[in-house]
Chain A
Amino acid sequence: MGRIWSISTFEIARVYQKPSSYILMFMMPLIFTFLFAGVGGNNAATSFKIALVDQDKTAISQELVKKMGQEEWLDIKLMERSEAEKQLSNKSISGMITIPSGFAGQLFNGKKPEVAFRHGPDLSIAGSIRQMIDNAMAQESIKIKAAYLVNPNSTGADLTASYQSMSAALGTNLITVDAKNISKGSSLDRSNNQSERLVGFVILFLMITLTIVTGKILEARKIGVWYRLLSTPSSRFNIMGGYMLSFLIIGWLQMAILMTASHFIFGTVWGNLLAQFCLVSALLLCAIGLGLMVAGFVKTAEQQMLMGIIIISPTCMLGGVYWPIELVPDFMQKMALFVPQYWAMEGFKTVMTHGGTLLDVLGSIGILLGFAAVFMAVGISRVRYE
């Protein structure tokens, strides 16, 4: 254990000896978050202007309009379709929601009508708005079902009346209760777009950092110290254990400092710490495994870093690190299931946005550990001891 600790502390000291390490590990993620996710803290989302076009003009659609208008984090304006389209093309508004005609009829018939949401490609909270629409529609659907239950044989106007009386009777209570459980809008008070982007950049730079530090093994080979290490009475387990522990500690230090700094700078709330600890540990193992695997197929630390970035950058794009995954086409969302960053993002969103606990992120952790096991098995099997 003494040798493992010696190698580990020695390698950690060598990493933090370089000023560039601080820039890459701590400054870059915070600067990127500052630049690309805005600096307005949790109130930043209130400035998004969204047009709402009601082509149905029924009691249900108006109820939906009313409900969306109550969302504090959005500036929703009711307007005609032509005006909304004009403003969207002028970029006077960030997006437009269209409730189509026949909307209420479809809901009464038990179908799920399509509420269109158009927005510019740079609207980072598009996913949250889509979620808000779905939640609002789900609530209306529940009220209609309740109206049926109360008055099973009603149709048409009777059913509408029954629905209206149900709405009036429930008031906002139903919305409030359900909103706490399923609505993304209310939880955005705790973790908004900025948090999501911060997490994304943290994952990106964490993976880059660990790719670079896992190159220490290749560097050791290059400068001959690997040869000397193997000539000392240190077992392979001690040597690899020392390196692995140093990678984990470096990753954890980076994560802990970023979590603390972002909490004080951006007001980020990271949620359940136990869940975060397990999630981050799984992500670190996965990133270390990836670095080791890449190291197993190249000869120099420089090649490893280049190859690592070539792999990390596109998989981060695919995994929803740079922008909400909901913005990309369906086939890409399906492809995202095969990259670890997607599962890390999902886990972080669950803990930070939905107040998830360890139990809620066990799935993400399990999948990340699965990736880690595969990467490490390949990476460690290719470490050469001669």
Chain B
Amino acid sequence: MLKVDNLKKSFGNREVVRGVTFSVNKGESFGLLGPNGAGKSTTISMICGLIESSSGDVTVGGVSINKNPMEVKRKIGVVPQDIALYPTISARENLYFWGRMYGLSRVEAKKRTEEVLEIVGLQDRAKEKIENYSGGMKRRINIGAALMHKPELLIMDEPTVGIDPQSRNHILETVKKLNQEGMTVIYTSHYMEEVEYLCERIAIVDQGLVIASGTKAELCNRLVGATSIQIKVNVSSPELIDTLGTIQNVQSVKADGELITIYTSDARQALGDAVALVVQSGLQVLSVDVQEPNLESVFLQLTGRTLRD
């Protein structure tokens, strides 16, 4: 469906996208995960033909954005990061206008407006001006505008920034449903949980490059010692730290006062051995917490930074 081939973009001397390559299959939900400033939005803008790439190419359904941008734009719907609606007119009027801009006839645009209002769950507020909407409702219409022409590929650039949890859930559910109905989705975010929930495959972007990609399981499997076991004991003991380091499949052990963190690739075995060693050393176990690897830890290991840094 989408092929992004060695895409680069420079603004002056600053290269913000440094050769991004990935592909998305038809009907797939693909996530672009990365911190703010990683180059996600610039990449999205180049895919949509909003800014010209310095080099590289994008093809959507086999059509090159460089050669036939209008044909590509007919295939995609873009949900910008910021609300891109006319605030002083109603949601219905906004949707109708964007339908017309996507080439729908008057009748088609009218019909589709009602369908999209139903999809985003705002039929009962359709007459109200956008400026009177809550942040979450604006976000929903912002998505709705991109759905007017039933795009083959829906590109969403951080669509849940700054909204309440209820609206976020509604949006995530809507996107999930659209994807299940066959729409190909590219979802960019720096919210790891959203990408994990929605996307089958993920590309992690940092400093203008895709530094890793694959399914969540594939990405997490790349980590050695990604599972962490946190044991809180009653008294700190440097000797115990050394002993815990000898357990099989434990990569490293760190201590912060009474809190001991064990990194391992086999949490089940390491947990039992670790608790036994603590008890044998005469200390008391106050609490135990096991953390499975996630995209945050993948990103942390790959870059040394967190997604929200």
Contact at B50–A231, with CB atoms within 8 Å?
yes
Q: Counting CB contacts under 8 A, is B254 at the interface?
A: no
Residues of B contacting A231 with CB < 8 Å?
48-50, 73, 76, 78, 80
- Chain A residues in the interface with B (C-beta under 8 A): 2-3, 6-7, 10, 14, 17-18, 223-225, 227-235, 386
Indicate if the CB atoms of A229 and B87 lie closer than 8 Å.
no
Which residue from A3, A10, A225 sits with its C-beta under 8 Å from B85?
A: A225
Closest residue of B by beta carbon distance from A238: B101
Point out the residues of chain B lying under 8 angstroms from A228, CB to CB.
78, 80, 84, 98, 145
CB pair B70 A227 closer than 8 Å: no
At the interface, yes or no: B67 with Cβ under 8 Å from chain A? no
- Shortest distance between the CB of A213 and any CB in chain B (Å): 14
Query: Can you report 19 residue pairs joining A to B where beta carbons are below 8 Å apart?
Result: A3-B103, A10-B100, A17-B88, A17-B89, A223-B83, A223-B84, A223-B85, A224-B80, A224-B82, A225-B86, A227-B82, A229-B101, A231-B76, A232-B73, A232-B98, A232-B102, A233-B103, A235-B70, A386-B50
Contact A386 B100 (CB under 8 A): no
Q: B residues within 8 A CB of A18?
A: 88
Contacts of A14 in B (CB 8 A): 86, 88-89
Q: Is the CB of B84 within 8 A of A3?
A: no
A234: B residues at CB distance < 8 A: 101
Contacts of A227 in B (CB 8 A): 50, 80, 82, 84
Assess whether B97 is interfacial by the CB under 8 Å rule.
yes
In the assembled complex, the CB of A301 is this many whole angstroms from the nearest CB of chain B, namely 13
Give the residue among B84, B85, B145 with the most A Cβ atoms within 10 A. B84
Chain B residue nearest to A219 in the complex (CB): B86
- For window 32-76 of chain B, which residues contact chain A by CB distance below 8 Å? 48-52, 70-71, 73-74, 76
Kindly list 15 other residue pairs between chains A and B, CB separation below 8 angstroms, not including A224-B85, A228-B84, A232-B73. A2-B103, A6-B100, A10-B100, A17-B88, A225-B84, A227-B50, A228-B80, A230-B49, A231-B49, A231-B50, A233-B103, A234-B101, A235-B70, A386-B50, A386-B52
CA distance A55 to B97 in the complex (A): 75
- Specify which of A10, A229, A233 is in contact with B70 (CB 8 Å cutoff): A233
Find chain A residues with CB under 8 A from B50 CB: 227, 230-231, 386
Tell me how far the C-beta of A168 lies from the nearest C-beta in chain B, rounded to whole angstroms: 74
Task: Report A-chain residues with C-beta under 8 Å of the C-beta of B89.
Answer: 14, 17
- Of all chain B residues, which has the CB nearest A18? B88
Q: Once bound together, how far apart are the Cα atoms of A386 and B100, in whole Å?
A: 22
Min CB distance B260 to A, Å, is: 50
Residues of chain A lying within 8 A (CB to CB) of residue B51: 386
CA distance A135 to B71 in the complex (A): 68
Closest beta carbon of chain A to B16's beta carbon, Å: 13
Tell me the residues in window 142-171 of chain B with beta carbons closer than 8 Å to chain A beta carbons.
145
A224 CB to closest chain B CB (Å) equals 3
Within 8 A of A (CB), among B69-120: 70-71, 73-74, 76, 78, 80, 82-89, 97-98, 100-103
Which residues of B are found within 8 Å of A10, using beta-carbon distances?
A: 97, 100
Which residues of chain B are within 8 angstroms of A232 by Cβ–Cβ distance?
73, 98, 101-103
- The minimal Cβ–Cβ distance linking B113 to chain A, given in whole angstroms, is 14
Chain B residues with Cβ below 8 Å from A233 are 70-71, 73-74, 102-103
With contacts A14-B88, A225-B85, A228-B145 taken as known, whether A3 is within 8 angstroms of B101 at the C-beta atoms is yes
Question: Would you give the shortest CB distance from A89 to chain B, in whole angstroms?
Answer: 56
A162 CB to nearest B CB, Å: 78
Determine if A223 and B87 form an interchain contact, defined as CB atoms under 8 angstroms apart: yes
